[in-house]
Structure 1
C-alpha cells in the first residue's frame, strides 16, 4: 500500500515522509485534533489527563498514517510502520517520558 501512495505522488518507493500529503495528513495539529476527537467518539475517552498533548498527537499520527496507507485494519491486525515515518512523527511530537519499546519481564514479581 505504501508503494501505491508513492506511485500516486509519482515518487520512487522510499521514504513516505517525502510524500506531499504526509505532512498534511500526519503532522498537522489541526488534522490530528479532529482525528483524535473521532477516536474518542468511537472508542471512548483515552485518559486525557495522563497523556501530554505531544503524546496524543504522536499516537494519533501513527493511527492516521496507518489508515491513510492501509485503511481500517481492525482491532487485532497490526502493521510495522516505516522507520522514517516513526522518526519523523517522534521528532515532531517529542516527549520527555518516551521510553521506546520495552520487552515485558519474563519473571513476574
Structure 2
C-alpha cells in the first residue's frame, strides 16, 4: 500500500469512526512519549488547554488535541452534545422505549440533558458500546456539557465503570 493510499484509508476510517483518533493518539504517545503540556495550571495531563481537574485518575483524560483542534470546540460536538433540541428528541425517544416518567425534581431536566449529551458523545465518537461497556469522556468535553447543563448544587456523579 502506498503512503497516499494509507492516508486515504486513514481519512476514511476517521470519518466513519471519529473515536479512533483517541486510539491513534494513545498509540503515538506510547511510542513517542506524551506531547508537551498546553500549560494549563494544575492540569499537567491536558494538551488541549480546555480540561479542568477531575476527581479521579481515571477521569483525568484529555482529548489529546492542541488548543485549536480540541474536540470540545468542534462544530459537531456542539451540534450533537450541546444542542437542546437534538437531545430533547433523543430523550423523548428514550422515554418512549424505556417507559421512563416525566421530570419530577428540580435539576432533573439539566441532569437528563447531561446524560443525553454524554450518551451522544460516546455514540458519536465510539459507536454503540453494548450493555455495561463504558468509556471515559475527555475532561474538556465533560466540562463543556456541565457548563451548558449545570447541576443547581454543583453535584456531579462522575464516571461509573461498567459492572
Sort the TM-score into its range (normalised by shorter chain). Answer: 0.7 to 0.9
What are structure 2's unaligned runs of at least 5 residues? Answer: 1-18, 23-63, 159-163
TM-score by length of 1: 0.74
* Structure with bigger gyration radius: 2
Cα distance in 1, alignment partners of residues 122 and 148 from structure 2: 17
Task: Choose the corresponding residue for 1:3, options 14, 21, 29.
Answer: 21
List, as ranges, runs of 4+ consecutive aligned residues in structure 1 with deviation greater than 3 Å.
Answer: none
Q: How many residues were matched structurally? A: 95
Structure 1's unaligned 5+ residue stretches are 5-12, 103-109
What is the aligned-residue RMSD (CA, Å)?
2.3
Higher relative contact order (CA 8 A, sep 6+): 1
CA 1:46–1:73: 2 relative to 1, 3 Å: farther
1:58-77 counterparts in 2 under 5 A? 58-77=114-133
**Distance (Å, rounded) in 2 between the aligned partners of 1:2 and 1:54:** 29
After TM superposition, give the deviation of residue 47 of structure 1 in Å. 5.7
